Structure 1
Amino acid sequence: MLVRALRSEVDLTVEYTRKRGHAAALARSAAESGVDVVVTLGGDGTVNEAVNGLMTAEPGLAARGTAPAFRLPALAVVPGGSTNVFARALGLPRDWVEGTGVILDGLRSGRHRVIGLGRADDRYFTFTAGLGLDAAVVRRVEQARLRGRTSTPSLYFRSIFSQIVSGEDRKSPPLSIERPGEEPETGLGTVIIQNTAPWTYVGDRAINPNPDASFDRGLDLLAVRNLYIASTTRTVTQMVSRNADPHGKHVLRMHDQAEFTVIASRPQAFQLDGDYLGERQKVHFLSVPEALRVIC
């Protein structure tokens, strides 16, 4: 149905991803071949790969020197995953049929939005990144799914509290944040970075630790200074409340940041756009304005 609907409006070529990283290769090839729009059907992991493929494509000679958003194909996202944070943050319907209708209308009218992205070292992200507790929870959830568990809100909450009570990094928080021209922030147990709001969804509820984060500004972050059970549980409860406002002496928040580096004294779990990417000890974060055109 999706293919028929798009093919009725545009000259369409369909490709299927076959392994991890394939979506990035397909998007890069499409951009370098001169297509106008790349459409993805999948979850946030597929979108992240496609975005990285687009952002690493080599532009034609005529396009060099312009902002990425205006030298690259536009991106259209049809939601097809379990959470679809990026699509929902853009205001797209959760249902892929309704989402297809919005995209078709945007293609007909030429409607698009220019957004900024985040970059972590050499990899781009659309809505979130994290080191420490945040990413360790993503790792736990991925491991549970590999064992056959279904991704549900209760699975995420159990993973959060299991990680909190595990005691990892509680006595000696390993993370610090360095910014150009500023004193380092040290003694941090976890760092959450947002390129937009919300940070994620639990079912229908948006989780918004940094509600002022936006595709149109720099990066926002929230860090927790230690991982004591009582204080961390209180911060998590504040984050998931309907009027989220994480605060307290253990909470550090920064808004509209252009650039910073997170450094760990020992390897820490690392995630981008909800995908666990292993452990890191140093990650440089950069806000990339006017990075991408999206049909929405």
Structure 2
Amino acid sequence: MRALLIVNPKATTTSPRARDLLVRALSSAVDLQVNYTSRRGHATDLAREASDTADLVVTLGGDGTVNEVVNGMLHDGRPAESAPRLAVVPGGSTNVFARSLGMPSDWVDGAGVILEALRDNRMRTIGLGKANGRYFTFCAGLGLDAAAIRRVERARVRGQSATPARYLRATVAQFFSGSDRRHPMLRLEIPGRPPQTGLSLAIIQNTTPWTYLGDRGISPNPRASFDTGLDILSLRHLSFVATARTATQLFTGSRPPRGRQIVAHHDLEKFRLSSARPQAFQLDGDYLGESDEVELESAPGALRVVC
């Protein structure tokens, strides 16, 4: 089996020695080539080049690296059966996608699961999401959560780490400083249904959880699954009381948030979000700039995963 290992050398939880150990372990099971990323978007280029020659692409990095690799592997919209299989070794700070597949959070244990799955020829076919033509594996966001990610990414440029506590502080800071909190601008259009307007944010999930705080999964859309369409949760207003109530439900319960300010939909095939002015936009935890229109759709059975 021909395999490409794509390594993000800036991955949070691995060291050069750990990477060497992983390379030796994988080389015992597959014909392995190793490439290191050097810039944003590099993993996409490497995966695109390997899409016609490799049987398996392995990532060592965080969710952003996984997202880039998936978009490279499926760059021409090919069916899952004609694309390489994907294996994910967790190496980032949160690793939502790997953990949502049931992978261990430790890279050593994750590598062991992959080697066992290769030996047993075990894999799973999952659905993905697409936003303006770009694939995402577990989540997308327009508004508050994406703006909080933007704050964290700016902090990382200054040398600060991307911890769960930093994301939480960034979200609180964005909530109080965001200019659109009292003037909701989002519009949600689902084919065959009346449009919904006056929405403040949109959290889209392709699976659950949406993120983790330590070992605890947080999921605004707990019914989301790789085996169904997309789920979305929006808030009509970001008033302090209503938002605090929703946040409490998210952090303390397992059921979907409830309340008059909640707009939620499950298992959607396609929908559109638009805004009166550009909003922060993120996919799989990576800030992608601002957008005033996002077309979202489910891509069932799009990817084969070794896990």
Runs of 4+ in 1 over 3 A off after TM superposition: none
The answer to whether the aligner puts 1:9 opposite 2:29 as a matched pair is: yes
Q: Deviations over 1:142-167 (max 9, x none)?
A: 11222222222221221111111125
2:45 is matched with: 25
Tell me, in whole angstroms, the C-alpha distance in 1 between the residues paired with 2:255 and 2:154: 28
Tell me, in whole angstroms, the C-alpha distance in 1 between the residues paired with 2:164 and 2:244: 17
Helix, strand or coil at the partner of 1:15: strand
Question: Which of 252-261 and 233-242 deviates more?
Answer: 233-242
1:207 is matched with: 218
| Partners of 2:144 and 2:280 within 8 A in 1 | yes
Q: Percent identity?
A: 59
Relative distance call for 1:93 and 1:131 in structure 2 (3 A) is same
| Partners of 1:28 and 1:57 within 8 A in 2 | no
TM-score, normalization by structure 1: 0.94
Relative distance call for 1:171 and 1:58 in structure 2 (3 A) is closer
Match for residue 121 of structure 2 among 110, 120, 131: 110
1:65 is matched with: none
Question: Which of 230-239 and 20-29 deviates more?
Answer: 230-239
Task: Report the CA distance between 1:75 and its aligned residue.
Answer: 0.1
Tell me, in whole angstroms, the C-alpha distance in 2 between the residues paired with 1:225 and 1:276: 23
Tell me, in whole angstroms, the C-alpha distance in 2 between the residues paired with 1:38 and 1:167: 40
Q: Unaligned 5+ residue runs, structure 1?
A: 60-67
1:130 is matched with: 141
RMSD of aligned Cα (Å): 1.2
Question: Within 5 Å, which residues of 2 pair with 1:1-296?
Answer: 1-33=21-53, 35-57=54-76, 68-296=79-307
| Partners of 2:202 and 2:232 within 8 A in 1 | yes
**Number of residue-to-residue matches in the alignment:** 287
Tell me, in whole angstroms, the C-alpha distance in 1 between the residues paired with 2:194 and 2:254: 31
Task: Report the CA distance between 1:8 and its aligned residue.
Answer: 0.6
Task: Report the CA distance between 1:58 and its aligned residue.
Answer: 7.4
TM-score, normalization by structure 2: 0.91
Helix, strand or coil at the partner of 1:150: coil
Q: Unaligned 5+ residue runs, structure 2?
A: 1-20
Relative distance call for 1:156 and 1:7 in structure 2 (3 A) is same
| Partners of 2:222 and 2:254 within 8 A in 1 | no
Helix, strand or coil at the partner of 2:33: coil
